[in-house]
């Protein structure tokens, strides 16, 4: 690649999704987006979630150029259904989701395998297995087994691009949805990726649905008929995978130890083997097609090695399946991995964990000099000016004034940062929409405290409406607070039903949680902002005291949106002639804009967004407004 080329290509961020050829420094997620576009997708659907959001965020930027329908769907189940139906019409469709969203979509995924598809349908599943920003550390490869669909695990961004294209091809060959699964580390790793031209043929297909009730109407008799068809498709997939070019065997013909490596962990294995200088003793099977497992290939590999280490993330799935194959083959040598305790059961792997496992098995020296240093954590916080901080302090103030502790049932979004000090404002956080369902459960269990469910707007539309219906129908005495910042903030400001625009920038109707609540029959509904803290407290107290389901929508834009949009019109400063140095403003709010400088408390003029919370809670009225002179 010439210098001129690099200079040229770096200019436009999404150029890697437009050019026919070239080499680009892109991430695993970017490479997947490119692979899907090369495959000629016409539909791309997702719901935001770290670490998968980048895929649809990128595709949506070039969707109109490529003639792709790209959207952030209401939730992952809806997203998958859109992609699946499009694939029934013969188009190629991409559904991308983080592991927790696969749970949401699983109801449809598990049945869709019985009908199969016509156009290629690829499920991209990114597992946050450490986890860095998820409620659990799940291995979605189990779903490929539950659904009986193929699962492919690319080992690098460059390979991910090719694997996605291959996934579309075999999806059409087998007439099955295909899962491409990788972990967070691959999603966020950048390397130079060479791209190939875009498939114009697939891109130009006409959608056509040919009715075939026995295939598409999954009533039990049809399902019974389709089940053996699904199983035979899996048999065919296994045969394909025995000769798949992505599976590679590396190293000497016969070796002291064989390593079966999947996903990004293959790279850790290669580095560990090189660092330990044991290349002559090790034979490696890079396994990309992990479901159905290619038995013939694995059997041949087992014959050439005297022991085996299986490296995968994060559950011992391949390890267990290889043990089953070994049993069939009377292979009696040891098979190491998580079951033997050589690979840790939790957290993401690193080259160090692999070096340690190999050193233990081969009884060689492979220790790294790690040190433990006692350094305080950096506890995450809500941004300066975040309206959620105001809402939480108002809820706590309302409860305090009512003389009760209350139970604050949390949900998924930025606002689960409210658990951290100094707010310490939520008592649970489990799954999307679970706040309202759990609030009902606490009530029906007979909890005497006020029960307050706190849920964001995107989450409310994702999974909060069915439990709200349940609450009204069964007369739960709960208060629901919808923190409506009219965007999916946590995952990078993707639009949602309250935003008024779609992923590709088209106008959309603005949907309001209070209108839905009204239609369902919630009797107490109030909509407030965050500019008047004391009024907010008053309304919350009223809502908590109201019998039955009460709903308060706190509508206030995300502070980051205000900053980016240049909409900060005021800032606050401390009047030191009145300040009594009680530090209430800093210690109660934990606002990052309020800092200690030398011996005094200062409001950082650069960080302050003018939310006014510190002014509202200052006991001596020592904080005042300063005009912004732009």
Partner 1 sequence: MDIVLTGVGGQGIVFASNLIATAAIISGYKVKLTERKGLAQRGGSVLSFLRIYKDTNVSPIIPISSADLLLGFEMMETIRNIRYIKPGGVVVMNSRKIYPVNVKIGMHKYPSEKEVREILESRSLKYHIIDAQKIALSVNNPRGENVALIGFASGLGLLPIDKDILIEAIRIRSPPKYAEANIRALEKAYLLAREVR
Q: Which residues in this chain contact partner 1 in the complex, by CB under 8 A?
A: 3, 6-7, 10-11, 25, 50, 132-133, 185-186, 188-192, 264, 267-268, 270-271, 273-275, 350-352, 355, 368-371, 373, 375-383, 414, 417, 420-422, 490-492, 560, 586-587, 590, 592, 594-596
For tokens 């800093």, name the residue. Answer: 586
* Nearest distance in Å: CB 65, partner 1: 23
Looking at beta carbons only, is 42 or 388 nearer to partner 1?
Answer: 388
H-helix segments, 445-558 = 457-459, 465-473, 513-520, 533-545
Q: Which two tokens stand for residue 18?
A: 């437009």
Angle at 301 between CA 296 and CA 304, to 5 degrees: 135
Nearer residue to partner 1 within complex by CB, 36 or 414:
414
218 vs 115: CA distance, rounded Å: 8
**Tokens standing for 169?**
């091809």
CB nearer to partner 1: pick between 66 and 275: 275
Shortest CB 180 distance to partner 1, Å: 18
- For the CB of residue 608, give the shortest distance to partner 1 in the complex, in Å: 14
In angstroms, the CA 199 to CA 79 distance is 24
C-beta closer to partner 1: residue 176 or 186:
186
CB of 615 to partner 1, least distance (A): 19
Provide, rounded to whole angstroms, the least separation between the CB of residue 27 and partner 1: 9
* Angle at the Cα of 401 from the Cα atoms of 523 and 452, rounded to 5 degrees: 40
In this complex, which beta carbon is closest to partner 1, that of residue 144 or of residue 562? Answer: 562
10 or 401: CB nearest partner 1: 10
For the bound state, the minimum distance from the C-beta of residue 510 to partner 1, rounded and expressed in Å, comes to: 24
**CB-nearer residue toward partner 1: 28 or 497:** 28
Q: How far is the CB of 474 from partner 1 (least distance, A)?
A: 36
DSSP 600-613: EEEE-TTT-----H
What would the two tokens of residue 58 be?
Answer: 């990128």
> In the complex with partner 1, which residue's Cβ is closer, 188 or 542?
188
What whole-number distance in Å separates Cα of residue 23 and Cα of residue 6?
8
CA atoms of 608 and 629, how far apart (whole Å): 14
- Kindly tell me which of 123 and 454 has the beta carbon lying closer to partner 1: 454
The distance of closest approach from Cβ of residue 274 to partner 1 in the complex, given in angstroms and rounded to an integer, is 5
Minimal distance, residue 135 CB to partner 1, in Å? 13
Separation CA 164–CA 39 (nearest Å)? 8
CB of 191 to partner 1, least distance (A): 5
Tell me the pairing of strands 69-72 and 43-46: parallel
CA atoms 166, 170, 171, 176: torsion sign:
negative
Q: Which helix (H) or strand (E) holds 151?
A: strand 151-152
Give residues with Cβ within 8 angstroms of 212, minimum separation 6.
none
- Collapsing DSSP to helix, strand or coil, 216 comes out as helix
Nearest partner of 177 among 116, 131, 263, 133, judged by Cα:
116
Beta carbon of residue 369, minimum distance to partner 1 (angstroms, whole number) = 5
Give me 246's structure tokens. Answer: 């992505």
- CB-CB contact of 493 with 487 (8 Å): yes
Alpha helices in 403-532 (DSSP H): 434-444, 457-459, 465-473, 513-520
- Closest listed residue to residue 46, CA positions, set 465, 560, 557, 504: 504
Please give the C-alpha separations between residue 48 and each of 10, 84, 139, 413, 493, in angstroms, as whole numbers: 26, 19, 19, 11, 9
Least distance CB 194 / partner 1 (angstroms): 12
122 or 163: whose CB is closer to partner 1? 163
Residue closer to partner 1 (CB basis): 132 or 209: 132
DSSP run (H or E) holding 273: helix 265-276
Sign of CA dihedral 339, 342, 344, 350: negative
* C-beta of 211 vs 377, nearer to partner 1: 377
């Amino acid at each position: 690649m010439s210098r001129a080329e690099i200079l040229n290509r770096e200019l436009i961020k999404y150029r890697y999704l437009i050019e026919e050829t070239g080499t680009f420094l892109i991430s695993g997620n970017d490479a997947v987006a490119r692979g899907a576009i090369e495959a000629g997708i016409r539909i791309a659907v997702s719901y935001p979630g770290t670490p998968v959001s980048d895929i649809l965020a990128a595709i949506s930027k070039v969707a109109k150029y490529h003639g792709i329908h790209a959207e952030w769907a209401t939730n992952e189940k809806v997203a998958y259904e859109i992609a699946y139906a499009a694939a029934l019409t013969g188009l190629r469709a991409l559904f991308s989701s983080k592991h927790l969203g696969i749970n949401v979509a699983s109801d449809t995924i598990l049945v869709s395998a019985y009908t199969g598809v016509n156009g290629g349908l690829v499920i991209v599943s990114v597992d946050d297995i450490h986890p860095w920003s998820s409620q659990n550390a799940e291995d979605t490869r189990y779903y490929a087994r539950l659904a009986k669909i193929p699962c492919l695990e690319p080992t690098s961004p460059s390979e991910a691009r090719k694997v996605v294209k291959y996934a579309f091809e075999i999806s059409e060959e087998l007439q099955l949805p295909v899962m491409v699964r990788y972990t967070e580390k691959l999603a966020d790793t950048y390397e130079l990726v060479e791209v190939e031209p875009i498939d114009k043929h697939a891109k130009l297909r006409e959608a056509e649905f040919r009715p075939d009730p026995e295939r598409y109407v999954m009533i039990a008799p049809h399902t019974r008929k389709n089940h053996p068809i699904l199983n035979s498709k899996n048999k065919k997939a296994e045969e394909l995978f025995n000769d798949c070019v992505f599976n590679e065997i590396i190293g000497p013909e016969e070796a002291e130890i064989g390593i079966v490596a999947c996903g990004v962990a293959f790279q850790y294995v290669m580095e560990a083997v090189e660092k330990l200088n044991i290349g002559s003793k090790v034979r490696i099977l890079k396994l990309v097609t992990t479901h159905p497992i290619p038995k013939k290939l694995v059997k041949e590999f087992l014959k050439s090695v005297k022991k085996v280490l299986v490296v995968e993330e994060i559950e011992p799935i391949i390890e267990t399946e290889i043990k089953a194959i070994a049993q069939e083959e009377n292979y009696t040598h040891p098979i190491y991995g998580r079951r033997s305790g050589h690979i840790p059961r939790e957290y993401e792997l690193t080259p160090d964990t692999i070096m340690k496992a190999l050193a233990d098995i081969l009884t060689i020296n492979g220790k790294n000099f790690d040190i433990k240093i006692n350094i305080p954590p950096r506890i995450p916080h809500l941004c300066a000016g975040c309206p959620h901080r105001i809402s939480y302090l108002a809820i706590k103030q309302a409860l305090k004034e009512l003389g009760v502790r209350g139970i604050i049932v949390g949900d998924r979004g930025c606002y689960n940062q409210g658990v951290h000090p100094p707010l310490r404002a939520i008592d649970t956080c489990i799954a999307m929409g679970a706040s309202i369902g759990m609030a009902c459960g606490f009530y029906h269990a007979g909890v005497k405290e006020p029960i307050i469910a706190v849920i964001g707007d995107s989450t409310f539309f994702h999974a909060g409406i069915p439990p709200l219906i349940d609450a009204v129908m069964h007369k739960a005495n709960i208060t629901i607070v919808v923190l409506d910042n009219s965007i999916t903030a946590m995952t990078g400001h993707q639009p949602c039903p309250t935003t008024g625009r779609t992923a590709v920038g088209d106008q959309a109707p603005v949907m309001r949680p209070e209108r839905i609540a009204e239609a369902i029959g919630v009797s107490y509904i109030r909509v407030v902002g965050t500019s008047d803290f004391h009024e907010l407290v008053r309304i919350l107290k009223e809502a908590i005291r109201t019998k039955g389901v009460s709903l308060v929508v706190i509508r206030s834009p995300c502070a980051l949106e205000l900053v980016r949009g240049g909409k900060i019109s005021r800032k606050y400063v401390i009047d030191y002639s009145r300040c009594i140095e009680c530090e209430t403003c800093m210690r109660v709010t934990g606002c990052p804009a309020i800092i200690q400088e030398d011996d005094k408390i200062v409001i950082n003029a650069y960080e302050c967004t003018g939310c006014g919370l510190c002014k509202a809670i200052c006991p001596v009225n020592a904080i005042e407004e300063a005009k912004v002179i732009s």
